[in-house]
Structure 1
Amino acid sequence: MTEDRPIPLPGAIGISHVDCYDWPAADGLGGGSPHMHLACTEAYVVIEGSGVVQTLSSAGYREDELTAGAVAWFEPGTVHRMVGHEKLRVTVLMQNSGLPEAGDAVFTFPPEILADREAYAAAATLPRDSDPEDAARRRRDLAVSGYLPLRDALHAGDPEPLREFHRAAAALVAPRVDHWKKLWRDGARAAAELTGARLHALAEGDAAELANSRVRLAHPSRQGGYGMCGRRDEYEIPGTTVAYGGE
């Protein structure tokens, strides 16, 4: 009998379901907290409802419609903001599961907060002793207050504020990168190396590993949590570095 080993999700991704916040922000739009990932590509698979995703990148400002069946994805360095129009619900797929949960995502807080790790941590963390919805909304509003000047500067043809945000975000997370490397080695890289080993075995005509296949089923381990973009259903995969698809 083979070991009852853990099985990562395909490609060692993270997965979650998100219902976009509908609280109006300073610009009148209801939606999530603008933020950026530094090491992970992210995808939205739209399940129902409608909205848009606003993005800031070296290519400028962009707004893409989100309707049922659409898939939108963006690479590290892209600031993104989910905006809901009508009961927008998406499934979020995150590359390198474990990294987003370890701080790979940085909110677009104002520069003075990004420059102070303690101030950033206080603003980004939802306090346990306060109303979570109120705290999540304050956090979202603070991120929007830092996001709007970045967007306005790109509209005006000035990419420097976005570049400065990139630099500030990289400096903010620098102490965590060694830990991220371990998560990546134990997660996404290990999954890719296992595929390589299987291909080598198949090339040699060795099918023994196929007898060790397993099946897993998971249900949300937490429902309705307050994430960056909306209320989030999370999945925990026991025995792996995967916690959930953070968003």
Structure 2
Amino acid sequence: MPSTFPGATGLSEVSIYDWPGADGAAGGSPHMHTASTEAYVVLQGTGRLETLNSAGFTSTPLAPGVVLWFTPGTVHRAINDSGDLKVLVVMQNAGLPEHGDAVMTFPPEHLADADSYRRAAALDIKDADAGLPAGEEAARRRRDLALQGYLVLKDAVIESGPEALADFHAAAGRLVGPRTSAWAELLAGGAAEQAETTRQQLLSLDAAETFYLGKARTTMGKRENRRIYGMCGRIQAWELSDS
């Protein structure tokens, strides 16, 4: 069901992975979103958000109360310095990230075609609370593979500037391109529909008609029972529709 949360956004609580990577820093799988802006509200712990985008390479400190967001095309890596970094993620266009909007920074051979990417990205065990070593090992291997490609990209951006991202952006575009018609349907039933509802409400108010105010309601999101292995960490999600 489409999100009826304000702005048709998605909401999740993410405990950033505390697994050390090849460079010694603990954190999640570097990736980018192709059609959704993502926001962090830091709840606990400290760390950094490394980003690669039109500004080049940036490292932003994370601490409780920090709010930041980044637009599509921003390669990002959450680093968990304190070991207990937890963020509330607000995601634009709920449904798109769940339907493949994100692309991880795997080495180029894993971005060559959809099948290669799917094999690298797949997790057979998604339940992060099941206590199964195989699930954590697979999520960690995926993180390490994304980190391998990211560290090369990071060095290239530091040396040559944002233009070094062009090949990765192009590969990501080829991977997600076939999905955009389905995304358009999700957008039409979510953010676009909410915007149209607001437009109609403004027209009603302009005509001194307030009938829609009598249909006001309160909705409580349903917290999912189990966390899942995500890209940045273990994800606690909510169902945010009216039904």
| TM-score, with length taken from structure 1 | 0.91
* Secondary structure of 2:32 counterpart: strand
Determine the C-alpha separation between the residues in 1 that align with 2:190 and 2:117.
Answer: 27
Determine the C-alpha separation between the residues in 2 that align with 1:128 and 1:80.
Answer: 24
* Secondary structure of 2:223 counterpart: coil
Determine the C-alpha separation between the residues in 1 that align with 2:71 and 2:3.
Answer: 26
Determine the C-alpha separation between the residues in 2 that align with 1:19 and 1:109.
Answer: 22
* Secondary structure of 1:73 counterpart: strand
Amino acid at match of 2:112: A
Determine the C-alpha separation between the residues in 2 that align with 1:202 and 1:159.
Answer: 46
* Secondary structure of 1:40 counterpart: coil
Q: Which residue of 1 aligns with 2:121?
A: 124
Q: Which residue of 2 aligns with 1:102?
A: 99
Determine the C-alpha separation between the residues in 1 that align with 2:176 and 2:163.
Answer: 20
Q: Does 1:229 align with 2:226?
A: no
Q: Which residue of 1 aligns with 2:189?
A: 186
Alpha-carbon displacement from aligned partner over 1:185-222 (angstroms, at most 9, x marks no partner) = 11110011101011110111111100101111123214
Are residues 214 and 7 of structure 1, via their aligned partners in 2, closer, same or farther at CA, if it must alter by over 3 Å?
farther
Q: Which residue of 2 aligns with 1:136?
A: 139
The runs of 5 or more residues in structure 2 that have no matched partner are: 127-131
Q: Does 1:88 align with 2:85?
A: yes
Determine the C-alpha separation between the residues in 2 that align with 1:207 and 1:149.
Answer: 57
CA RMSD in angstroms comes to 1.6
Displacement after TM superposition at 1:239 (Å): 5.6
Q: Is the 8 A contact 1:222 1:235 kept in 2?
A: no
Q: Is the 8 A contact 1:33 1:229 kept in 2?
A: yes
The runs of 5 or more residues in structure 1 that have no matched partner are: 1-5, 241-247
* Secondary structure of 1:82 counterpart: strand
Amino acid at match of 2:122: T
Which of 183, 195, 200 in structure 2 is aligned with 1:197? 200
Which of 22, 40, 45 in structure 2 is aligned with 1:49? 45
Q: Which residue of 2 aligns with 1:244?
A: none
* Secondary structure of 1:223 counterpart: coil
Pairing of 1:49-68 with structure 2 (within 5 A): 49-68=45-64
Q: Does 1:115 align with 2:112?
A: yes
Determine the C-alpha separation between the residues in 2 that align with 1:161 and 1:103.
Answer: 23
* Secondary structure of 2:39 counterpart: strand
Q: Which residue of 1 aligns with 2:129?
A: none
Pairing of 1:144-155 with structure 2 (within 5 A): 144-155=147-158
Displacement after TM superposition at 1:164 (Å): 0.4
Displacement after TM superposition at 1:10 (Å): 0.5
Q: Which residue of 1 aligns with 2:8?
A: 12
Q: Is the 8 A contact 2:107 2:148 kept in 1?
A: yes
Determine the C-alpha separation between the residues in 2 that align with 1:147 and 1:172.
Answer: 18
* Secondary structure of 1:25 counterpart: coil
* Secondary structure of 1:231 counterpart: strand
Displacement after TM superposition at 1:7 (Å): 7.1
Q: Does 1:175 align with 2:172?
A: no
Determine the C-alpha separation between the residues in 2 that align with 1:96 and 1:30.
Answer: 29
Displacement after TM superposition at 1:160 (Å): 4.0
Amino acid at match of 1:188: A
Determine the C-alpha separation between the residues in 1 that align with 2:3 and 2:144.
Answer: 38
Q: Does 1:75 align with 2:75?
A: no
Determine the C-alpha separation between the residues in 2 that align with 1:173 and 1:218.
Answer: 29
Q: Which residue of 2 aligns with 1:245?
A: none
Amino acid at match of 1:175: P
